[in-house]
Amino acid sequence: MTHASAAGTPDLSAVRPGVNALLNAFLDRKAQAAAGPEMTPLFTALRRLLDSGKRLRPQLCVAGWHAGGGCGDNSATLHVAAALELFQAFALIHDDVMDASDRRRGRPTAHRVLAAAYLTAGGRRSRAESHGVSAAILLGDLTLVWSDDLLHNARLDAETLICIQPLLDTMRGELVYGQYLDLLSTDRLSDDVEAALRVVRYKTAKYTVEWPLRIGAVLAGASPDVLDACSAFALPLGEAFQLRDDLLGVFGDPAETGKPVGDDIREGKATVLMALAMRGASAAEQQLLRTLVGHPDLAEGNLLRVRCVLEETGARQQVEKMISDRRDTALAVLDRAPLPAAAAGVLREIAERATARQS
């Protein structure tokens, strides 16, 4: 449970252990009831993924609950927060399959773990990769189904559950839309910054920040103007969060981010960073980007050449500016929002952390 500290500020540091305990208890129950010992690799892969992660969505959900005036026992909110984290695990598992990523959060991705388990159990080497992919598709499906299952066991009263279901349904649909927009724009180098920002809005701003915050606030019975303030804070912050992610993907330290640097470039992701670079690039630089971006086997030297263009066109700096502008906008919302001061303080902290992070 999250307790208010002596100064009255809600303490979000309790969210992580609280959510972890719920997830572990849930998976222990599922493992006991599972169809058989053959299911073990699914649990191993899911637990490994869940062991890490920033728990940003659960924190935002609990912060939203405080913003909506929640205080005292927050166990129902923590349950919902844990369901959001399971949903996020589903999204990551399928995302890694689609991107054919090897590593996530510094560890092998689920489809790699499942392929390895298949080999260990005597499976054929020639089939291991496709087995891993199929098994990870199923594990993602199971995790999505379980995020509902966990929610239904959150002991929410029926009225509250019915109140948040439409929000969850919208959130889940919007994430998939965002992922599809992302997929469509991949490998199509473009200088359309607005189009890239639209993907960010669906894929991250609404899904990662706005909905967890609003769902938490609704759980506390927040008024419409509090909900409006949540959205006004969340959308610019969510954009800033994704823009930071894009920068870290290209310029970050793999030891900190837990994933190889340059994956977005190798996959040809249509990030805002890349669109700005295309916009500011000379004809020769544009040609260079067209030749190199989207090549899965891009060598280190060529990766460096792309990074140089991202710097020299000023794209990197422009994205930094976009991040700080959006963070400032989000913080300014808090100054005039009708939120309890303590909750606003917590949101301020989250905004600083999410935009200045190194991982």
Nearer to a copy of itself, 71 or 189 (CB): 189
Q: How far is the CB of 141 from a copy of itself (least distance, A)?
A: 5
Which of 8, 17, 173, 221 is close enough to bind a copy of itself by CB under 8 A?
Answer: 173
Which of 6, 124, 255, 336 is close enough to bind a copy of itself by CB under 8 A?
Answer: 124
25 belongs to the binding site for a copy of itself (CB under 8 A):
no
158 belongs to the binding site for a copy of itself (CB under 8 A):
yes
Q: Which residues in the 187-216 window bind a copy of itself by CB under 8 A?
A: 187, 202
140 belongs to the binding site for a copy of itself (CB under 8 A):
yes
Nearer to a copy of itself, 150 or 272 (CB): 150
Q: Which residues in the 26-65 window bind a copy of itself by CB under 8 A?
A: 30, 34-36, 38-39, 42
135 belongs to the binding site for a copy of itself (CB under 8 A):
yes
Q: How far is the CB of 17 from a copy of itself (least distance, A)?
A: 26
Tally of CB atoms within 10 A around 86:
25
Tally of CB atoms within 10 A around 237:
30
Interacting residues toward a copy of itself by CB under 8 A: 30, 34-36, 38-39, 42, 90, 94, 97-98, 118, 124, 127, 131, 133-135, 137-138, 140-142, 144-146, 148-149, 152, 158-159, 161-162, 165-166, 169, 172-174, 176-181, 183-184, 187, 202
